[in-house]
Structure 1
Amino acid sequence: MGKDTSIYMFDNEKAAVNLYEDLRHRMYHTQTFRGYINDRRKALNNDKISFDRILETIKNDINSITPDDMLEITLFFRSQIEPLFYHDSWEARNEYFETLYQYLRIFWLYEFPNAAAYYGYMHQYENYTEFFPISMLKNYQSGIRICSEDFLLFNDYVIWVTKEILDR
């Protein structure tokens, strides 16, 4: 089983309002986010999953959310939204998610199609940081978060390296 690896960008101020209020109060298809988190804690026997901590992070600074907490949010939305679009096309589902995420001020930038693509990208990240130290690096067991300026410079580097490889 593969692991989804995605890159997100957040609008901190608007997510502190829109996403926070939705996750705190809104009933989605079959449950609230609080109910989902309580079910996940029981199912996984994992007390580290915390509804209050996730909401507090969103309210104060969504850019400091851990990859594990972001995964809980995305899994919640998938569990609540995908059943509504069971008979619809993949494009229709993606369009709805994009609209929802725009409202919540979560911008899904990219998802790696497979583990090889992810590992290649991360290998280039390691090469890049060896020569160009990245400020505000925050490393987690399940992901990495860097400031947007450094991320853009890193992606410029990856595009340049890819062009060099293709040219040769």
Structure 2
Amino acid sequence: MKFVLFLSFIALLTLVGCQRDKMNPKNLTTVNVKRELSVTPAKATATAKSTEKTPVPPAEAQPSATPQTTTTKKPATPTKSYHIIVASHPRESLAREDVARLKAQGYTDAQIITKDQRYRVSIANNPDKQEATRQRDELARRLKQDDIWITLY
């Protein structure tokens, strides 16, 4: 009798739990995001064509009172690359010791990456995932260390 009561209680909990987790479609919302670009590609090509046709006078011929319009280049955003991580430490001092040891062994690209409140020791990095995987396998064999992994940073 107790066993049947226990099983019915478990079944009741399962049913109540399943009903609780179902989402009501009325509570779902849709968010539309509009992104405004400074120059559309069609306008950019039209602007490029119009600048090619009009001759630009030399800088000496322009009066100094006239403001000059120059195009400013945006600073290059650092691209993410795949880092091969050989160690992860809770303290920066331990990571610095590992980097110094690796640099003494000839791994000049060794560096510290701080992520998720951990100090990770990167031995190399590569923008291509397949190449980074190949490097990781080679470094794992060379260092005789199986717990080397790749992270995108």
Normalising to structure 2: TM-score of the pair?
0.23
| Larger gyration radius, structure 1 or structure 2 | 2
Higher relative contact order, structure no. (Cα contacts within 8 Å, ≥ 6 residues apart): 1
Which has a greater percent of helix? Answer: 1
Normalising to structure 1: TM-score of the pair?
0.21
